[in-house]
């Protein structure tokens, strides 16, 4: 008796064989099968170089050479996984149907059991040291270490921190080891000081990967095993003991005591965010000041700041005691204001944010808005009606300006591509246009673009603050006569999918030439190889998103006919 599930699988396999029988038998001598592991009971993922040139095959059938796994011995997807329950040498085969032709590829995998091995305890090293890791010795084995080197030997020379293990014959051993490099600690508690009564100071002995012990007048401060320790009256002798694995134990001492003279007010001001290349003056202004000691080494009452950092100053008062304060100075990047024209629905409020940090902000609206919006000094601005909005942001001595136009949408207005019929293997991307903010497709994916690989009905729900609507389009694929097929969009964004713009052609071609032009009619790419595509760069730099014009010529090797073709392609990132 054949159950329903078995019948469906048999029918699919029979259909596959039928397609194979009709087409030409091609043996993939230049293609190979690859896998990411060789371990027993691991989910091993299989791949093949054939899928780099046949992106959307009509049918796929893998055979993992493992009859004992029953139904799981075969798979009908491009990149399947399979787990072997026993070690051994297994023959793996792949059949791919495209444009009616079948390509057969054969390979093998040697499945092994993971080797039980212990690297030992983690290794701690100081400064720019190095160490050597050793894997177990296996005769004739291949080694692959899990780092960014190409080391294939039994030993690995390690010069940077990380967690390491090794694959032997493609299967990781059962242990890993951490190797950690630390900088040599150099605790600096600073000079001895006599502080004015009521002054606040925190000692800092921070070092990389350190453990801290603090002593005050020879007594261990049990609760203070952190990098910083507040100084409290009456003070005394402070010792910071810093222990770093692999480097040793280091210490520093500072004598901090307190006078009876009350500390006068002293402040270097709030933490400050400066504009690029701005020069900033810090002033240590204290009543009765008789001496200055800055973190920069200056002994003047003021210092000029040109770099980010934490700055502090000890100021001696009446030659009796010292007060201290610090300030963090940062520099903002070279970014500019970057508002874009936008549209919102009636009744909604748009919040514009131009926050660059400490500064003043001046907004202007044409036509003018409500009185409570005619303020300056605020980094945010609330838009209630359409108009032209501009901002002047002053941060330190730097001034930045930008503007945008805000319009209103009364209702949702969207469009989707028409129903279409394509050739097998021809890439196609659906594109929703209009004023929607979100897009949700039938399979849950989001975005205004959707790559189509199979015939069927596709739906998208597009929405903005004004409403939502569902659009439907039908896409079909069929066998085409020999012709040049070009995608209408590609996405060179580094995700490994649809990275280049190139032709997909089932027929033989000669004298091929492809040229791509920008919107100004300038030639930006040309090739005579159908397999060489444009990677979305112009002279090595990423090209702008948008529409580009392509023109191609080729001779059909079978009919000897010269064909000219042209069209457009959308570059999407």
The model scores a pTM over 0.75: no
> What pLDDT sits at residue 301?
95
CA quadruple 479, 480, 486, 488: dihedral positive or negative?
negative
> What pLDDT sits at residue 263?
92
**Is the bond leading into 234 cis (omega within 30 degrees of zero)?**
yes
Beta bridge partners of 251: 241
Rounded distance between C-alpha atoms, residue 557 and residue 507, angstroms: 8
Rounded distance between C-alpha atoms, residue 492 and residue 490, angstroms: 6
pLDDT string in tens for the chain (573-residue length): 334 333 333 333 333 333 333 334 444 458 999 999 999 999 999 999 999 888 888 899 999 999 999 999 999 999 999 999 999 999 999 999 987 789 999 999 999 999 999 999 999 999 877 899 999 999 989 999 988 778 899 999 998 889 999 999 999 999 999 999 998 899 999 999 999 999 999 999 998 889 999 999 999 986 667 899 999 999 999 999 999 998 999 999 999 999 999 999 999 998 887 878 888 999 999 999 999 999 999 999 999 999 999 999 999 999 999 999 999 998 877 667 888 888 777 767 888 888 776 678 888 889 888 766 656 567 888 888 889 999 988 876 678 889 999 887 766 777 887 888 876 666 788 888 887 878 899 888 898 899 888 888 899 998 876 778 888 999 887 765 666 778 888 899 888 778 899 887 656 678 889 999 998 889 999 998 888 889 999 988 999 999 999 999 888 776 677 888 888 999 988
- Domains in the chain, ordered, with CATH? 4-111 (2.60.40.10), 123-182 (2.60.40), 193-262 (2.60.40.10), 272-331 (no CATH), 342-409 (2.60.40.10), 414-478 (2.60.40.10), 489-571 (2.60.40)
How many CB atoms are closer than 10 A to CB 428? 19
Measured distance between the N- and C-terminal CA atoms of the chain, rounded to whole angstroms: 53
Strand-pair category, 25-27 with 101-111? parallel
- Which residue spans within 484-556 are E strands per DSSP? 489-490, 509-517, 523-527, 537-538, 541-542, 546-556
Is there a contact between 460 and 440 (Cβ–Cβ < 8 Å)? Answer: yes
């Amino acid at each position: 008796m054949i159950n329903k599930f078995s019948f469906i699988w048999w029918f699919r396999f029979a259909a596959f064989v039928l397609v194979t029988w009709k087409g030409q038998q091609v043996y993939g001598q230049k293609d190979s099968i690859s896998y990411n592991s060789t371990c027993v009971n691991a989910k091993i993922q299989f791949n093949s170089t054939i899928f780099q040139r046949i992106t959307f095959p009509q049918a796929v059938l893998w055979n993992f050479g493992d009859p004992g796994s029953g139904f799981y011995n075969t798979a009908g997807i491009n990149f399947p996984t399979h787990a072997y329950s026993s070690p051994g040498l297994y023959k793996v085969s792949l059949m791919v149907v495209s444009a009616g032709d079948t390509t057969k590829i054969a390979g093998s995998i040697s499945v092994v059991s993971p080797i039980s091995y212990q690297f030992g305890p983690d290794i701690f090293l100081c400064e720019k040291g190095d160490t050597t890791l050793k894997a177990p010795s296996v005769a004739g084995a291949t080694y692959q270490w899990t780092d960014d080197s190409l080391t294939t030997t039994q030993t690995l020379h390690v010069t940077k921190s990380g967690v390491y293990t090794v694959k032997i014959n493609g299967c990781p051993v059962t242990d890993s080891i951490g190797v950690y490099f630390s900088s040599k600690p150099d605790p600096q508690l600073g000079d001895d000081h006599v502080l004015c009564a009521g002054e606040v100071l925190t000692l800092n002995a921070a070092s990389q990967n350190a453990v801290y012990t603090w002593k005050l007048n020879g007594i261990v401060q049990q609760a203070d095993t952190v990098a910083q320790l507040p100084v409290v009256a009456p003070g005394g002798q402070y010792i910071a003991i810093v222990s770093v694995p692999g480097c040793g134990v280091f210490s520093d001492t500072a004598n901090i005591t307190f006078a009876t003279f009350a500390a006068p007010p002293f402040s270097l001001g709030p933490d400050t965010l400066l504009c690029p290349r701005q020069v900033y003056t810090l002033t240590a202004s204290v009543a009765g000041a008789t001496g200055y000691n800055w973190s920069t080494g200056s002994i003047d009452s003021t210092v000029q700041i040109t770099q980010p950092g934490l700055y502090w100053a000890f100021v001696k008062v009446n030659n009796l005691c010292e007060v201290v304060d610090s300030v963090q100075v940062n520099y903002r990047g070279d970014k500019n204001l970057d508002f874009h024209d936008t549209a919102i629905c009636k009744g909604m409020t748009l919040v514009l944010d131009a926050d660059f940090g400490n500064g003043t902000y001046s907004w202007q609206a044409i036509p003018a808005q409500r009185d409570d919006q005619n303020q300056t000094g605020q980094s945010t601005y609330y838009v209630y009606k359409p108009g032209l909005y501009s901002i002047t942001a002053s941060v330190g001595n730097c001034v930045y300006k930008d503007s945008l136009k805000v319009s209103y949408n009364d209702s949702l207005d969207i469009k989707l591509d028409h129903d279409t019929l394509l050739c097998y293997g021809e890439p196609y991307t659906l594109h929703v246009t209009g004023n929607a903010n979100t897009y949700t497709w039938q399979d849950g994916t989001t975005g205004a673009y959707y790559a189509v690989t199979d015939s069927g009905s596709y739906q998208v729900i597009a929405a903005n603050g004004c409403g939502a609507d569902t659009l439907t389009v039908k896409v079909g694929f069929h066998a085409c006569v020999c012709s040049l097929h070009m995608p209408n969009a590609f996405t060179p964004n580094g995700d490994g999918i649809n990275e280049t713009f190139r032709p997909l052609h089932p027929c033989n071609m000669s004298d091929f030439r492809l040229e791509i032009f920008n919107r100004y009619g300038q030639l930006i790419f040309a090739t005579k190889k159908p397999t060489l595509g444009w990677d979305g760069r112009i002279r090595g730099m990423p090209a702008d998103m948008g529409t580009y014009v392509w023109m191609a010529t080729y001779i059909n090797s079978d009919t000897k006919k010269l064909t000219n073709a042209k069209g457009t392609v959308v570059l999407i990132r």
